[in-house]
Every structure is written in structure tokens, then in C-alpha cells.
A = this chain, B = another copy of it.
Amino acid sequence: MVLNSIEIVYFLLSIGIILFVGRGVGELLRKFKQPIIIGEILAGIILGPTIFGSIFKDLYDLLFNYSPTINFAFNGITELSLVLLLLVLGLEIDLSLALTQGKRASLVSILGVVFPFSIGFIVAYFFPLEMGIKDYAMRLPFSLFVGTALSITALPVAAKALMDLNIFKTEIGMLIITSAMFNDLIGWIVFSIIIGMLGYSTHSLELHWLLITLAVFVGVILLIGRKIINYVIPKLEKHASYPGGILNFIFVLGLFCAAFTEFIGVHAIFGAFIIGIAIGDSVHLKEDTREIVQQFVTNIFAPIFFVSIGLRVNFIENFNFLLVAAFLLMSVTGKMLGSLLGAKLGGIGRENSIIIGLGLNAHGAMEIILGTIALQNNLIQPKVFVALVIMALFTSITSAQLMNFFLKRSKQLLNFIGLLKPENIFFTNASSKQEVIKELCLSISNQYKLNSEKLISEVMAREELISTGLEKHLAIPHAKMNIQNPIVALGVHKNGIDFDSLDGLPAKIIVLLITPLNDPELQLRLLAEISTTLGDAERIGKLVELTDASEFITTLKQFS
């Protein structure tokens, strides 16, 4: 059962060509600030039956279609690549973060799933033929699939766009990321059910048993497994060879869980994804282990899968403009409506909601992976697959640009007013500079779980260097701490306290600004913004008369 010599030649050659062309186009797109994965998918379309395969058919068949044996070998590699890719995508999900983001994130993400899902489901259910169903009897799973495909967000694409726009660390950024994680999770669970309904596995359980098994699996892995893994990793790092032992541990767990979910009738990648989340959540997993796994999988295995997508179908023959337009329209509408409503209920401004909607509308790897499996299982026609891939490419490419456009309008680049929350405004009667600083620091420390002694000493050290009391009744004591997002607290002192100001006037508004250690630029920008917004005697005069925090913020917003 071994490949013969000439098969080995074509097998190695085809993988080499895939990696080479994938990387080449990927790097080219990177110059245009696009994610490499988009280049890899384009490379597949170029190499596949769409372009190269249609012009040089014989050469294409020789390279990628030489014998069934090679195809099986190649299929084994892509299957493994896919499992490892999902394992890595799981590793990237920060479960703890998602769990602490609470109400807002869950609202946004649930609505951000429900809306596009419902639109997709309803349209596909009532117009299955127009939407490209393969077998009319599969109407229900088909409609579920269309809904799911529309509601999934590309976490890596969204994260990349947020980082490029420098808003990854803002509240909106975290909200988008957390929502995207929830989306992924919900999407996968629904998709698993679809696959179960197809009875695509020969061993597959009845649907209700499948659901129960799945719930138990997810529960056990994420609740108990996660803790066991966190306990085992340091032991392995200590007693087994490093990083070999831990690398093997990650892969073995991934493969076993993948085999398990495939066995119960859900796709293998679901198991890999869930165990990836559980492993990635461990605080003991060292950064360099993560790095080795992540770099190797995203640079060697992932391209093999993404390029192979384009090898599956002819993207020109199966291109259907109406279908692509319909998918895009449904996706954008659904995501926008969902995010707007979710954000509204969660108390987020309208323009920010649009940004969230756009961020969540980036489709990508996940959706394409679902599409591939749906195509393989004869759930959808090739034209639907093509439409999904194009939608994924289009939304991924445009999301950063669109978000940037609205960001500029809403000026929500981590600004002072955005950071100031009503609960961080204090009306104080402190008798000295030291006292007011202490008050503000203590209340902040409590709320954000900071070391209050350290914070106070950092702020005071800065004060001793040179007073932060500015002119016109304003003071901005500040410090850098080991935090992710900047924190602002504001003290209002009706009569003013001596703050050693330049103009000798007492400080009536004291803004405590704490920024992350590694971001000196951010500190400078926020300091400048605060002094521009508040460095005006008339404004300060108005603000100190107020007695309500919300009113304070509303008034402040009118100034900027």
C-alpha cells in the first residue's frame, strides 16, 4: 500500500507548488495590507481549474490529478491540516476573556448571530432552488447551513483589522473579538447539528443523542478538561523533554478529540477546535510552545488547506452574480441589524454599533471551512461554495477599510470621553492634593483589581518630578501600569485644591489617567486630548456646578 516512485514525485511536487504559489500570492497581498490567507485562497483559484487548470489542462491533471492514490494521500494531508488549523484557531480563543466580558458581549454576539442566521435561514428555506440547494430533500439542513454561514465571523480577520486600526485594546475592540468568539462557538455547534442531521457519518447517532453527546463533550472538555490540562502542562514541562513533550501532548489531544467528534457524527475539526480552546486557556502554556505550534501550522499546514480550496471548483464557471450579491446583502443586513440592536440594548452609541457590525461582518476561514465540508457532503452546489468564498474574501478585504471610514467619523480612537465612565466620576471634598490622588487611586484599584499601593506610589513619584497641575483649574495626575486598556477617573472639587499649578490657581477638575506600560504614545495623546478638552476656564466653571455623573458626561460630550 505504498505510493510508487512517480506518484511520490507528483505528491511532493504538488505540495511544494501549493506552498510556493500560496506564499507568493500571500506575500504580494501582504504588501497591500491584506491577510496572507486571502492570498492563499487566490493562489488556489489561480492554480486550480479556474485559471491554470483551464489553460493547461494536461499539466494540471498531471500535477494535481495524477492518480487516485495520490489523491487519497493528498486528502489525508489536507484533512490533517484542517484539524491542526482548527486546533490553532481554538488556541487563539481566550475563553477567560470571553467569560468576563459579560452582558454586552453576549447580547451583541447573540443578536449578531440571530439576525443574519434568521435572514439566511428564512430566505434559504423559502427559496432553496434559487439559493443553490443540491438535493431538495435536504431543505432543512440546507437552510440551517445558509443561516450559519452568514452568521459566522472570521476571528483572525477581525483581530487583524482591529490591530491595524489600533483599536484592538479599546472596549469596542474587545467587544468585537469576544462576540466573534461566541459567534464561532455558536456557529460550530449549529453546524455540527447540521452534519448530524445529514447522517453523513456511517456511525452517526440519532439527532437527540448526538446533541446530548456533543453537550457532554463540550462541557467536559471546557469545564473539567480545561482544568486537568492546566494541571498537567507544568508537570509535562518539568518532567518530559521540552518543548517536545508539550508539543506532542497538544497534538495527541487534538487528534484524539478530532477522531472522537468525527466518530459521533460531527466533523473532526469541531473536536480539535474545542480542545484547542481548552489548551489555549491554560496559563501555564509557554509563549514559545504556542509560537512553534502556531507558526508551523499557519505557515505549512494552513496554506495546504487554503490553496486546496481553489483546486476544488472552477470559480468562473460557477460564479453566479445574483447569488453572491444575495449572500453579501443578507450577511451585511443581518450583521448590521443584529449589532445595532445588541449595541443599543447594551448601551453603545449608534456609530460604534456600526463599527461593531462591520467588524463582525468579516467572514473568513471558518466560513470557507464550513463551505468545503458542505460541498464535500453534497449539501450545496458548487455555485454556493463559490459565492461563499467570494463573500468571505470580499468582506475580509473591505472590513478594515469600512471600519476605518466610520472610525474617522466617530473619532472613537480610544479617546478621553469614550474612556470616562459615569462610575469613575467622583465628587470630592478632599483637603489636599495627596488626599484627592489617594481617593481616586483607591477607587480605581478596587474596580480594576490593581495594586493600590503601587498605583499611588507611581502617581506620586510622577507628581514629585514636576506637578501635573496645569493652568485654569485643571490637573492631570498620571502613571503607567501593567494594564491592557487605559483607565480614566475624574475628581470634581467645587472649591478647588492647591495643586502647585503653574498659574497658582487651585485644581477643580482632577483627571487621573492610567495607561498601559508599553504605550507611551497613547499616554501623550490622551494627555493632550484631556488638556484640550478641559483646559478652558469657562468649561470647567460649567462642569463643577454639576452634581450628577451622567449629566457630567453629556455636558463634556458637547465640548468635544
Question: What residues make up the interface of A, taking CB atoms closer than 8 Å to B?
Answer: 1-6, 8-13, 15-16, 19-20, 22-23, 27, 30, 36, 68-77, 79-80, 83, 200-203, 239-241, 243-245, 247-249, 251-252, 255-256, 258-259, 262-263, 265, 268, 291-293, 295-296, 298-300, 303, 376
Interface of A is mostly: helix
Alpha-carbon distance between A243 and B245 when the two chains are bound, in angstroms:
23
From B16, B22, B72, B256, contact of A3 by CB (8 A) = B72
Alpha-carbon distance between A266 and B75 when the two chains are bound, in angstroms:
26
From B30, B201, B239, contact of A5 by CB (8 A) = B201
In angstroms, how far is the closest chain B Cβ from the Cβ of A550? 46
Question: Is the beta-carbon distance between A300 and B247 smaller than 8 angstroms?
Answer: yes
From B240, B248, B258, B300, contact of A251 by CB (8 A) = B300
Additional pairs, 12, CB under 8 Å, beyond known A3-B72, A9-B263, A16-B252: A5-B262, A5-B265, A12-B80, A12-B83, A13-B259, A16-B259, A27-B245, A72-B72, A76-B77, A248-B299, A248-B300, A292-B296
Question: Is the beta-carbon distance between B241 and A27 smaller than 8 angstroms?
Answer: yes
Alpha-carbon distance between A203 and B73 when the two chains are bound, in angstroms:
21
Identity of the chain B residue whose Cβ is nearest the Cβ of A1 in the assembled complex: B71
Question: Is the beta-carbon distance between A12 and B68 smaller than 8 angstroms?
Answer: no
Alpha-carbon distance between A291 and B10 when the two chains are bound, in angstroms:
29
Identity of the chain B residue whose Cβ is nearest the Cβ of A294 in the assembled complex: B292
In angstroms, how far is the closest chain B Cβ from the Cβ of A179? 27
Alpha-carbon distance between A155 and B555 when the two chains are bound, in angstroms:
75
Alpha-carbon distance between A71 and B72 when the two chains are bound, in angstroms:
9
Question: Is the beta-carbon distance between B75 and A6 smaller than 8 angstroms?
Answer: no
Give the residues in chain B near A20, CB-CB below 8 Å. Answer: 248, 252, 256
Question: Is the beta-carbon distance between A376 and B2 smaller than 8 angstroms?
Answer: yes
Give the residues in chain B near A36, CB-CB below 8 Å. Answer: 241, 244
From B30, B240, B292, contact of A27 by CB (8 A) = B240
Give the residues in chain B near A69, CB-CB below 8 Å. Answer: 72
Question: Is the beta-carbon distance between B243 and A15 smaller than 8 angstroms?
Answer: no
Give the residues in chain B near A16, CB-CB below 8 Å. Answer: 251-252, 255-256, 259
Question: Is the beta-carbon distance between B202 and A19 smaller than 8 angstroms?
Answer: no
| Nearest 10 Cβ contacts at the A-B interface | A73-B76, A16-B255, A1-B71, A5-B201, A72-B72, A12-B259, A13-B259, A23-B248, A244-B299, A296-B296
Question: Is the beta-carbon distance between A79 and B5 smaller than 8 angstroms?
Answer: no
Alpha-carbon distance between A10 and B258 when the two chains are bound, in angstroms:
11
Identity of the chain B residue whose Cβ is nearest the Cβ of A16 in the assembled complex: B255
Alpha-carbon distance between A202 and B79 when the two chains are bound, in angstroms:
29
In angstroms, how far is the closest chain B Cβ from the Cβ of A366? 19
